[in-house]
Chains A and B, each alone.
Chain A
Amino acid sequence: MNTTAAGEIILDIRHLSTVFKTDEGRLPAVTDVSFSLGKGRTLGLVGESGCGKTVTALSIMRLLPQPAGQIVAGRILFDQMDLVRLPADRMRRVRGGRIAMIFQEPMTALNPVQPIGRQLREMFLLHAGGLSPAAMRRRCIDLLQRVGIPEAQRRLEDYPHQISGGMRQRVMIAMALSVAPEILIADEPTTALDVTVQAQILALIDDLQQAEGMSMIFITHDLGVIAEICDDVVVMYAGQVVEMASVTRLFRTPRHPYTQGLLASIPRLEHPAKSRLETIPGMVPGLAEMPAGCRFINRCPHAFLDCKTPPPLVDLGDGHSARCFLYGSGRESGA
């Protein structure tokens, strides 16, 4: 399993488990997560806050908060390398150069005391040594133009506080794309922006991805965004993958009760006015009090006795799988 509907796999995550060592012991932030990213495709990682989306992304980048965060099991295969075990100096060349990441908060992700041109230039200094200053400047201007920043030449000298949030996110995108990475990880890149700007930034990311032929992991809690730009979707809940499928299949036939709940809680135009907004009752269990069986057990409308034991990821065919006892007889598939 784990092959996407089409083509070559560029990033393959197998049985990744990440824990945080805290005073209350080792908290499992991500447990046995496996998925793979097809070349040139966009994979959406959805789930509510604290479900391990960002930790998964930071594990791929090996940027977990130190010394608390640690990958305890699993492999992350990229270009015949296992990123989990890659020496620090080689990992540094992968970061930014081959796998780039953009963050949620464009307000704080730029260094406040450096002009943006200088920060862009830093990417070339780190990953494309040997460019002349004039060439670097030209490429910086070119990049800013490509991400739709007007008067790029003048903006190079601007400081982050002088430009708007949307502009800053564009600068971040420009930085991420500057040395043509093979994979872009976007961690809720539009969450902090207002709705109109969100749409612009999404369109921009989508265009650039098409143009570059880049693969992308797009982390969000917004199913609307997923529907718009993703090819494949991985739904995470409480540190586990609960369902994955191509975007059309997931939206047409969601299988896992959690995914069904998520989809049901999107307000729709055809709903009668003033009708009650669907919600999933209950709360995500805390990392310290994870149930032994299915992690969704306390909120699941279909929970039955079997759910006291951990459910396997059931292959439903055509790249669709769900972690639930409702499907199949159970144990023949697994992650």
Chain B
Amino acid sequence: MRLSPLTIKKIRRFKSIKRGYWSLIIFALMVTLSLGAELLVNRRALIVHYQGRYYFPVYGRMLPGKTFGLDYNYETNYRKLAKVFASRHAGDWVLMPVVPYGPYENDLKPNRYPPFAPSFADRHFLGTDTIGRDVLARLVYGFRIAVFFSLALLAANFLIGVSIGSAMGFWGGKFDLFFQRIIEIWSNVPFLYVIIIISSIVVPNFFMLVVIMALFGWISITWTIRTMAYKEKAREYVLAARAMGASDLRIIFRHIIPNTVAIIVTFAPFAVSSGIISLTSLDYLGFGLPPPTPSWGELLQQGWANLDAWWIVASVIVAMVITLLTVTFIGEAVREAYDPRMHTTYE
């Protein structure tokens, strides 16, 4: 596929906005790393060398302790296994990830009570939370959930918003009026109460939460796309397409929506950041994803309740600031790259 020269121009312009460009690189790196989080932050070992054989327990079935000559049938504790191997001097070894803790795992110590402060010796780089789970592990897995949650939410919102919005703008008339009233009524339903009521009846899982939030999130993009579709519909190429015998749906999908892509792309980064914020705040209030799902909101709430364990609150806040800042910078740069007023310069 050949990119349109205008698109190339926009990409070049985006790259020239250094803040946004670097934010994109950082954010993309963070997302990529979080996709491979199991290789970086995991209670399972990366490689185990035992009696001449290699094991790769990261992805795959649970390996019981007996596999490695231990005396239990539940999942191997690889950190202890490493110590056992080290004391035996039999040439066996274990390679652990950088952070050798899982997000659900309580690392308790005799005669001490969590939260434990950050410690490089224990490899709890950001300490543990109030029940001994590694903060970094929960941050990383929580980030992954939050990002994919907001991407799923964005996809759902835009799917509903773009289809209804372009239909409203394109067909106009009674159809448009009807949906306008529906939206006005619907947008007066208090979102937070609905969430509270629903999550007091059923514990929402990931997809349910996406669906519930999409029920309330499609409205703003719908208005915007409606306006754009109205504008595009009046342009002559739509009449020309009609004169060529194109059907309404074909005109909407082949002509009008591609012409609103600028708006969709410009909205997307801001939608991602607002998605992260809403999930975090719902989790903070305890109405989001059920515990023990790793979540920034839940960490924030713990940290707020235990301010003397400052590392919890500090880590979450730093992580949130970095994430939201990069996403917002990306959004700003995209918006600027798409700004038509910037394209009147001659090269």
Q: Which of A92, A111, A114, A122 has the most CB of B within 10 A?
A: A111
Known A-B contacts A109-B237, A110-B237; the reply to A115 vs B245 at CB < 8 A is no
A112 within 8 A of B: yes
Q: Do the beta carbons of A115 and B4 come within 8 Å of each other?
A: yes
* Closest CB in chain B relative to A286 CB, distance in Å: 23
- Residues of chain B with a CB closer than 8 A to A176's CB: 244
Known A-B contacts A112-B259, A115-B4; the reply to A126 vs B240 at CB < 8 A is no
11 A-B pairs with C-beta separation under 8 A: A61-B243, A95-B244, A95-B245, A97-B245, A100-B244, A101-B243, A103-B239, A103-B243, A108-B235, A110-B237, A114-B254
- Residues of chain A with a CB closer than 8 A to B36's CB: none
Q: Which residues 228-281 of B have a CB within 8 angstroms of A?
A: 235-237, 239-247, 250, 254-255, 258-259, 261
B341 within 8 A of A: no
Q: Do the beta carbons of A159 and B4 come within 8 Å of each other?
A: yes
Residue of B nearest to A95 (CB): B245
Q: Do the beta carbons of A157 and B245 come within 8 Å of each other?
A: no
Cα-based distance from A122 to B253 in the complex (angstroms): 13
Please name the 3 residue pairs, one residue from A and one from B, whose CB atoms are nearest each other, closest first: A96-B245, A96-B244, A95-B245
Please classify how large the interface on chain A is, using the bins under 10, 10 to 19, 20 to 34, 35 or more.
Answer: 20 to 34
- Residues of chain B with a CB closer than 8 A to A111's CB: 237, 241, 254-255, 258-259
Known A-B contacts A67-B173, A159-B5; the reply to A103 vs B244 at CB < 8 A is no
- Partner of B236 from the list A67, A93, A109, A175 (CB cut-off 8 Å) is A109
Residue of B nearest to A57 (CB): B243
B90 within 8 A of A: no
- Partner of B243 from the list A63, A93, A112, A159 (CB cut-off 8 Å) is A63
- Residues of chain B with a CB closer than 8 A to A93's CB: 245
B121 within 8 A of A: no
Q: Do the beta carbons of B243 and A95 come within 8 Å of each other?
A: yes
Q: Do the beta carbons of A63 and B242 come within 8 Å of each other?
A: yes
- Partner of A162 from the list B5, B254, B258 (CB cut-off 8 Å) is B5
B342 within 8 A of A: no
- Residues of chain B with a CB closer than 8 A to A95's CB: 242-245
Cα-based distance from A159 to B6 in the complex (angstroms): 9
Q: Which B positions have Cβ atoms within 8 angstroms of A?
A: 2, 4-6, 173, 235-237, 239-247, 250, 254-255, 258-259, 261
* Closest CB in chain B relative to A138 CB, distance in Å: 19
- Residues of chain B with a CB closer than 8 A to A205's CB: none
- Partner of A113 from the list B243, B246, B258 (CB cut-off 8 Å) is B258
A48 within 8 A of B: no
- Residues of chain B with a CB closer than 8 A to A108's CB: 235-237
Q: Which of A109, A110, A161, A172 has the most CB of B within 10 A?
A: A109
Q: Which A positions have Cβ atoms within 8 angstroms of B?
A: 61, 63, 66-67, 92-97, 100-101, 103, 105, 108-115, 122-123, 126-127, 157, 159, 161-162, 172, 175-176
* Closest CB in chain B relative to A221 CB, distance in Å: 19
Cα-based distance from A94 to B245 in the complex (angstroms): 7
Residue of A nearest to B250 (CB): A126
Residue of B nearest to A67 (CB): B173
Cα-based distance from A250 to B246 in the complex (angstroms): 38
- Residues of chain A with a CB closer than 8 A to B4's CB: 113, 115, 159
Residue of B nearest to A118 (CB): B254
Residue of A nearest to B258 (CB): A113
Cα-based distance from A103 to B5 in the complex (angstroms): 26
* Closest CB in chain A relative to B260 CB, distance in Å: 10
- Residues of chain B with a CB closer than 8 A to A100's CB: 243-244
* Closest CB in chain B relative to A228 CB, distance in Å: 24
- Residues of chain A with a CB closer than 8 A to B240's CB: 101, 103, 109-110, 172
- Residues of chain A with a CB closer than 8 A to B239's CB: 63, 103, 109
- Residues of chain B with a CB closer than 8 A to A103's CB: 236, 239-240, 243
Q: Do the beta carbons of A122 and B6 come within 8 Å of each other?
A: no
Q: Do the beta carbons of B245 and A127 come within 8 Å of each other?
A: yes
Known A-B contacts A114-B258, A157-B2, A162-B5; the reply to A126 vs B244 at CB < 8 A is yes
Known contacts A111-B258, A113-B259, A126-B245; 15 additional CB pairs below 8 A are: A67-B173, A94-B245, A96-B246, A109-B237, A110-B240, A112-B237, A113-B261, A114-B254, A122-B246, A126-B244, A159-B4, A159-B6, A161-B6, A162-B5, A175-B244
